[in-house]
Amino acid sequence: MPMFLKNKSIFIILIILLSSCSINNLSKKNVLKNVSILIETPDDRDNVLLKENLRRLINSNKNSHLKYILKAKISYSSSETLSVRGLNVLNSTKANVDYSLVKGGTGTLIKSGSFNSFPALSSSSNSLYSNEKSIDQIKERLNLSSAEKLNLLLKITLSRLN
C-alpha cells in the first residue's frame, strides 16, 4: 500500500509541475500586444489586402509608447509548369514580400528583408472567367499565408528587442 501512495504522489507532483510550466508559457505568448505598429503598404488591391490581414493578425496596442512602422509590399510571379502526366499545363504562382521595420520616433531601421511563399498551383481552363477567379483565390490564399509568416517574423524580431 505505501508503494502505491508513493507512486501516486510522485505522479501528482509531476502533473502540477508540468501544468505550471505551461501556464507560464501562455502568459508570454503575444509580444505584439505591448507595441504599436503602423502598417504602410501601396494602394493596389493586393497590398491593401495584405495590410488588412496584417492588421487582423497583429492587433497592436494604439496607446503604447513603443511605436514601430512596418512598410510592406507584396508582388506575385506566375510561371507555367507541366502536370504529373505531362498532359495539362498548370500555373504556379509565388508571392514575394518585401518588408522593413522602422522605429517610430527615431526612424532607425530595425530589420528589413524579403521572402517568397511556397508556390500554389492552379489549373488552366478554357474559360477566361474561371482562370481569373482561380488566380484571384490563389492570390488571396498566398496573401494570408504571407501575412502569417510576416507576423511570425515580427514576433521573433520584437521579442529579441524587448
pLDDT at 50: 93
Q: How many helices (H) and strands (E) does the chain have?
A: 3, 5
pLDDT at 75: 95
Q: How far apart are CA 114 and CA 18, in angstroms?
A: 39
pLDDT at 3: 66
Q: Give residue-wise pLDDT tens across range 104-127.
A: 888 899 999 999 998 888 877 778
pLDDT at 36: 85
Q: Give residue-wise pLDDT tens across range 44-97.
A: 999 999 999 999 988 777 777 778 999 999 999 988 877 666 677 788 899 999
Q: Are 72 and 53 in contact (CB under 8 A)?
A: no
Domain 32-161 has CATH 3.30.160.150: yes
- 8-17, 130-139, 142-151: the lowest-pLDDT one: 8-17
pLDDT at 95: 94
pLDDT at 121: 84
Q: Which of 78, 70, 71, 69 is nearest to 117 (CA)?
A: 78
Q: Where are the domains of the chain?
A: 1-30, 32-161
Q: Are 91 and 78 in contact (CB under 8 A)?
A: yes
Q: What is the mean pLDDT of the chain?
A: 83
